[in-house]
Chain A
Amino acid sequence: MKLKPSVLVVCGLLLAGWYEPQVYSEDWTQFRGSDISGVSTKGNPPISWSDDENIAWSAALPGRGLSSPIVVGDKVLVSACSGYRQDRLHVLCFSKADGRLLWERQFWATGRTISHPKTCNAANTPCSDGQRVYVLFSSNDLVCLDLSGDLQWYRSLMGDFPNASNSLGMASSPIVVGGALVVPIENDSQSLATGLDLSTGEPLWKLDRPKRANWTSPVIFPGSSASADLAILQSSAGLAAVEPLTGKVVWAFDKGASTIPSSVVSGGIVYAPSGGITALDPRELTDHLGANSSPPSPKTVWKVDKLGPGTASPVVWNDRLYTINRAGVLLSASVQTGEIVWQLRLQGSFSGSPVVAANRLYACNENGQTTVVGLGDASGEVLAENKLTDTILCTPALSDNFIFVRSDQRLYCIGAN
Chain B
Amino acid sequence: MLVQNWPLGLRVGLVWVLFWGLAITFGSLTVAAADVQQSIAVVKELGPEGKNHLAAMKAWRELAASNPEALPAILKGMQGANPLAANWLLGAFESICDRTLTGGPVNEALANGAEKLPVAEFEAFVKDTTQHPSARRIAFEWLSKVDPSAGDRLIPTMLLDPSPEFRRDAVARMIDGAQKAKASGDQEASVASYAKALGGAIDDDQVKVIAEALSAAGKPVDLQQHFGFIAKWNLIGPFDNTNLSGFDVVYPPESQIDLSLKYPGKELEVGWIEHTTTDEYGVVDLRKALAHHKGAITYALATISVPTARSAQLRLGTPNAWKLWVNGQLVFARDEYHRGTFFDQYAIPVDLVAGANTVLLKVCQNEQTEEWAQEWQFQLRACDTAGARIEFGQ
Contacts and interface: CB of A to CB of B under 8 A. Distances in A.
Contacts, number: 171
Interface stretch (B22-30, B217-225, B235-243): B22-30
A236 B345 CA distance: 25
Interface in A309-333: none
B105 A148 contact: yes
Interface stretch (A34-42, A196-204, A223-231, A294-302): A196-204
Contacts of B110: 1, 3
B205 interface: yes
A83 B109 contact: no
A288 interface: no
A166 B110 CA distance: 43
Interface residues of A, number: 59
B104 interface: yes
A366 interface: no
B334 interface: yes
A11 B17 CA distance: 11
A362 B114 CA distance: 47
A159 B23 CA distance: 40
B18 interface: yes
Contact of A4 (B11, B16, B27, B112): B112
Interface stretch (A127-135, A149-157, A247-255, A387-395): A149-157
Interface in B1-43: 1-4, 6, 11, 14-16, 18-19, 22-23, 26-27, 29-30
Contacts of B164: 84-85
Contacts of A104: 98
Nearest to A146: B106
Interface string B248-277: 000000000000000000000000000000
B60 interface: yes
B393 interface: no
Nearest to B134: A108
Given A3-B26, A203-B50, A151 B60 contact: yes
Contact of A106 (B6, B84, B94, B104): B94
Given A9-B15, A18-B11, A168-B340, 11 more contacts: A4-B112, A8-B19, A16-B6, A102-B105, A108-B134, A148-B106, A149-B95, A151-B95, A153-B56, A156-B48, A200-B57
29 contacts: A1-B26, A7-B108, A8-B19, A8-B22, A16-B6, A17-B1, A17-B3, A103-B106, A108-B86, A114-B340, A145-B91, A149-B98, A149-B106, A150-B95, A151-B64, A151-B91, A151-B95, A154-B88, A154-B91, A156-B87, A159-B48, A163-B335, A163-B336, A165-B336, A166-B339, A167-B336, A167-B339, A188-B337, A196-B50
Interface of B: 1-4, 6, 11, 14-16, 18-19, 22-23, 26-27, 29-30, 48-50, 53-54, 56-57, 60-61, 64-65, 67, 82-84, 86-88, 90-92, 94-95, 98, 104-110, 112-113, 134, 138, 164-165, 168, 203, 205, 319, 332-337, 339-342, 344-346
